Amino acid sequence: MEYKLVQQVKVVTTHHFADTIQEILKEENYQKPLIVIDNFLLGQATIQNMLDRLDKEDVDYTIYDRIVPDPPIELIDSGADFFKENQCDSILAIGGGSVIDAARAINIVRYHGGSARDYVFDKQVPSFCPGLISCPTTSGTGSELSNAAVITDTETEEKLAILADNAVSEYAVLCPELVVSLPVGQTIITGLDVFSHAAEAYTSTLSSPVVDAICEKIMFLVVKYLPKAVRNGQDLEARERMLIAAALGGWVINNGGTHLGHSQAHIVGAKLHIPHGMACGYALPGTLLFTAQVEPKKVREIGNILGCEFPADVTDMEIGEITAQAYKEFRDEQLGLPAFDAQGISRDQLLDLVDEVVNERFASNAPMEVTPELVTQLLERFG
């Protein structure tokens, strides 16, 4: 049977990070976690308090702080070796999407062997990999609930995805105090990634009525709370609601997938080195425009969430245009995403990527036929 909604991660929301981590370790009898973390986070007060608590409780741990954005396969494999060399029994992943994706891939390799590359192409993850406690420090990728770990082949400059329900986190710990220091720029682009997850899962061929309802709520939360988090990063309510929206966004792409917006973002991001959430923000207006021609009702609902007003005799194309424009105004005026022109990338550079976008893994989830002509039109509107 093909299930339409599955969620097996234990989700904890907390304002007491150190206590929560200690409780989880005791609950599962984990004796020596490998802490996979961004190096710069080690000085954050909430993280330091947690480490002090582990020291006080005589919990042995090892820190692996070598993660970089778009983590390469070699780093994943060396992380699994490091895990075994230090005789760890669990992973505590603290960071953004790159850290949590890397930790999930390390968890696969330490359990089932081989290289992370194997699980991208032809090797299944045969059983659940417990022991991963994911603690996001951004409100974006939803990797803490997602079944897709995105890693990078540095030789081909490709972003590759390991898709495995057996490789999700065992626990997701959502603590807004971990997010309050996130810079404004990162808050904007990670939040736009959340909106793209929901908008694309909502209009994907894999969606279902249950997924649709969750996607509508995610988009509502982003529109209401992301501007507040941008204006005041210390707003704990806005930060918590965005953490929840991001986690739900990771969950819905397990069940609904993404499509052409993320296909563009994956290829353009890897080849031209644009941050993922920024690339998603540039890709979505064109994606909404053309999706409206086959899913006008859903795109209109996205427009309603964005505050659009539609004329009584509106056409499908006009629904796409109105909704795309409303999204741009939200993105640019309420949030302040930098203009695409400021990235120093020519339109010709984008159009050189048409074939790669057409053949990107998630493009097949699009509700319309994906052709070079369609992708050319999308990349002409990218930005």
CATH number at residue 66: 3.40.50.1970
On whether residue 1 sits in a domain, the answer given is no
Per-residue model confidence as pLDDT tens digits over 285-301: 999 999 999 999 999 99
111 and 219 in a common domain? no
359 and 338 in a common domain? yes
314 and 247 in a common domain? yes
CATH number for the domain that contains residue 246:
1.20.1090.10
244 and 96 in a common domain? no
Number of structural domains found in the chain: 2
On whether residue 23 sits in a domain, the answer given is yes
311 and 276 in a common domain? yes
105 and 42 in a common domain? yes
Last residue of a domain, one of 140, 159, 178: 178
198 and 171 in a common domain? no
371 and 235 in a common domain? yes
Last residue of a domain, one of 178, 203, 238: 178
On whether residue 153 sits in a domain, the answer given is yes
86 and 22 in a common domain? yes
Last residue of a domain, one of 124, 148, 178: 178
Rounded Cα distance, 153 and 159, in Å: 6
Which of 42, 57, 275, 35 is CA-nearest to residue 178?
42
Rounded Cα distance, 75 and 60, in Å: 23
The predicted model scores a pTM of 0.93
Cα–Cα separations (whole angstroms), residue 201 to 242, 284, 299: 18, 12, 12
On whether residue 5 sits in a domain, the answer given is no
88 and 208 in a common domain? no
Which of 337, 339, 11 is CA-nearest to residue 187?
337
114 and 195 in a common domain? no
Per-residue model confidence as pLDDT tens digits over 99-142: 999 999 999 999 999 998 899 876 789 999 999 999 999 999 89
49 and 21 in a common domain? yes
Contact of 161 with 361, CB cutoff 8 Å: yes
On whether residue 95 sits in a domain, the answer given is yes
Computed over every residue of the chain, the mean pLDDT equals 94
Residue 27: its pLDDT value, please?
Answer: 96
When pLDDT is cut at 50, 70 and 90, the band that residue 18 belongs to is: very high
Residue 151: its pLDDT value, please?
Answer: 87
Per-residue model confidence as pLDDT tens digits over 239-255: 999 999 999 999 999 88
On whether residue 3 sits in a domain, the answer given is no
Domain that holds residue 63: 10-178
Residue 199: its pLDDT value, please?
Answer: 98
On whether residue 339 sits in a domain, the answer given is yes
On whether residue 79 sits in a domain, the answer given is yes
